[in-house]
Amino acid sequence: MTDQRIYNFNAGPAALPLSVLEEIQASFLNFKNSGMSITEISHRSSYFDEVINDAVERVKRLLKLDDRFHVLFVQGGASLQFAMIPMNLLAPDDAADYINTGTWSTKAIAEAQKMGKSVHVVASSEDKNFSYIPQNIAFNPSSKFVHLTSNNTIKGTQFYEFPDTKGIPIVADMSSDIFSRPLPMEKFGLIYAGAQKNLGPSGTCMVIIRKDLVDSGNENLPTMLKYSTYSTKNSMYNTPPCFGIYTIDLVLKWIEEEMGGIEKMEEHNIKKADVLYDAIDASSFYTTTAEKYSRSLMNVTFRLPSEDLERDFVERANQHGLGGLKGHRSVGGCRASIYNAASMESMYALVEFMESFEKENK
Ligand SMILES: *Cc1c(COP(=O)(O)O)cnc(C)c1O
């Protein structure tokens, strides 16, 4: 069975570590001798308490979080956070700065505006089709937070360094690069990530939020849209996405125990991306769509000489056991998503295929 698995370059839901999937499989019918599956266990049981607490502790260890942060699990994906963030953090007279680096930032801005909030778009790379990360941004000193998308899943760009916001907390959508590298946590007020790229199955969004932002947040909101509901109940005010949280715990354990921690994870990710970008740079057949100093280590976006060739490339790659290489429907082209779980072996397999496809079609 496992030898029929493909090299999976899907953007999300995306590849998970094989050892994690095998552990889920092995314990699926009888979780920790409970006589039940993890999908049948009560979220009020000590079995599940252990799972969620272990996941939270692992997040804290991996990101070296101190006691100023809550780790929460919320449903509704990253997309609900686009609305929950301004709802909770901005009072009627408050404003926030947003950096627009692509589709997801654009959506976050639109949701904040829909809430009637005052939004300053302080920088945007829309002038060049979102192919780069803006530098030297001036922020509004009175803004409550600065929102950015750390990795642009669709456009293939990534913040290598986070801007100096002069103490204004950064609120970051890290859906597609969380736990891919260490983070300067002193800069962040809130980090959120839909699980289905780098963490687990879809249906769970991780929110890491500074406690003072929860405490000063808007209390006059529907229960399920308020961060304090999650922080006071350990994300279990209602039934949480148990299977998702369990899988996230196993993925975090894999990072800690099999990959050697987050610094090692970053080294591995840099090496993987280098293999692909080096191959693309050495060829005149393939071209990257992102500017060199903004290129994502997680989503490698590239073009071929024609759309016909791109279609053919994706189809032939599929036949060779290389899946998910079609670019996002909004931009076309090709994209290899190479999140934490993508192996070095899959990079070599892709490069080998790319070279032979080039030779045949030049
Ligand atoms: C996938 C993605 C989203 C949307 O996530 P959902 O969980 O589907 O709402 C938002 N932001 C980024 C950066 C993404 O990659």
CA angle 24, 345, 61 (to 5 degrees): 50
Q: What is the distance in A from the centroid of ligand 1 to the CA of 328?
A: 13
> Per residue in 292-327, pLDDT tens?
999 999 999 999 999 999 999 999 999 999 999 999
pTM for the whole structure: 0.97
Specify the DSSP element, H or E, that contains 173: strand 170-173
CATH architecture of 261-361: Alpha-Beta Complex (3.90)
Residue 152 carries which side chain, given as an amino acid letter? N
CA distances (Å), 145 to each of 142, 148, 188, in order?
A: 9, 10, 9
Structure tokens at 291: 């500017």
Which ligand 1 atom is the nearest neighbour of the CA of 77?
7
For residue range 66-119, list pLDDT tens digits in order: 999 999 999 999 999 999 999 999 999 999 999 999 999 999 999 999 988 899
Residue-wise pLDDT tens digits, 149-181: 999 999 999 999 999 999 999 999 999 999 999
End-to-end CA distance of the chain: 36
Question: Cβ atoms within 10 A of the Cβ of 228, count?
Answer: 17
d(CA 201, CA 248) in angstroms, rounded, equals 8
CA distance 91 to 114: 14
CATH code that applies to domain 22-258: 3.40.640.10
User: Is 173 considered catalytic here?
Assistant: yes
pLDDT given for residue 1 in this prediction: 61
Q: What is the mean pLDDT of the chain?
A: 97
Could you tell me the distance, in angstroms and rounded to a whole number, from the CA of residue 176 to the centre of ligand 1? 7
Catalytic position from the list 104, 177, 249, 254: 104
Give Cβ neighbours of residue 144 (< 8 Å, ≥ 6 apart). Answer: 89, 90, 94, 95, 96, 168, 169
Ligand 1 pocket residues where CB is under 6 Å? 12, 77-79, 104, 149, 153, 173, 175-176, 194, 197
pLDDT at 20 over 80: yes
All CATH 3.40.640.10 domain ranges of the chain, comma separated, are: 22-258
| Parts of the chain belonging to CATH 3.90.1150.10 | 261-361
DSSP for 101-131, written as a single string:
-SHHHHHHHHHHHHTT-EEEEEEE-GGGTT-
pLDDT digits (tens, 9 = 90+) for 260-269: 999 999 999 9
Place of tokens 């994906």: 77
For this structure, is 49 an active site residue? Answer: no
Which DSSP string corresponds to 219-261? -SS-GGG-HHHHHHTTT-SS---HHHHHHHHHHHHIIIIIS-S
Q: Six-digit token pair at 219?
A: 């209390």
